[in-house]
Amino acid sequence: MIWRDKKVWVIGASSGIGQAIAIELNKAGAFVILSARSGDKLQKTKSLLAQPQHSDIISLDLSNASSIAEAITTYQQRHQKIDVLIQSGGISQRALAVDTSMETTRQIFESNFFGQIPISLAAVEMMKSQGHGKLVVITSFTGKWGFYLRSSYAASKHALHGYYESLRMEVENFGVEIQLVTPGFIATEISKNAVDGNGLATGEMDDNQAQGISAEACAIQIKTGIEKGKWEFGAGGKEKLGLWIHRHFPQFFQKLLRKQNAR
């Protein structure tokens, strides 16, 4: 895949994996459209780009329907095409299921699932009219299996797999590709920003997260996976072996999971 002059809309570009992907693809020649809730943080991302003149900023809040609708309209007014949409926004969770309020579960689903859908469908319509395009959805290992303290988060990520695998079947004949990425332990602040049972950020860094590969290394793996056209692929360090074990030895894998530190 040649990235030069491709229009790539990155949702969640203010930090972590989304920011790193935007930087990596812009370095490869892509025109990146940066979206997230914080305009100031998006400006910071833009300042880190190799070619900041090949970028645009469209702020949006994935938990706010009117903000999403306004962002879609703004994109369509400013840009005549979309080659790649990368969905990397959302929040994580660190709380027991019994301690997690329904309001918090809905908060997680709004950001991780429902907020994505109108953006993806708008992108699909543009891609169908073009005859080509890619949707790249960043899910999680917990989109494949559940884990301690992540019941609602895992459910939201599982939902992404079900939705986009179905959507893939409906749009593939129009030249639209859908790729699902399952990152493992990446050294970002996702665990610090994860919410507790009351929907408040925990502010705590997980040991596993702190010891993960860098967001920059993850972005390179994702770029390579996109270029290879893989329908689904992992990103991370040695923990990617878990995807293979889970697929071939599910009962054994569940025993391994129960021995892992929840944080």
Identify whether the C-beta of residue 174 lies closer than 8 Å to the C-beta of residue 163. Answer: no
Identify whether the C-beta of residue 177 lies closer than 8 Å to the C-beta of residue 134. Answer: yes
* First-last CA distance in the chain: 37
In the three-class reduction of DSSP (H, G, I as helix; E, B as strand; rest coil), residue 62 is classed as: coil
153 is catalytic: yes
Which among 148, 153, 163, 164 is annotated as catalytic?
153
Pairing of strands 7-11, 55-57: unpaired
What are the residues whose beta carbons fall under 8 Å from the beta carbon of 179, sequence distance 6 or more?
134, 135, 136, 137, 225, 226, 229, 230, 231, 232, 233
Identify whether the C-beta of residue 135 lies closer than 8 Å to the C-beta of residue 85. Answer: yes
Identify whether the C-beta of residue 232 lies closer than 8 Å to the C-beta of residue 144. Answer: no
Question: Which residues are catalytically annotated?
Answer: 153
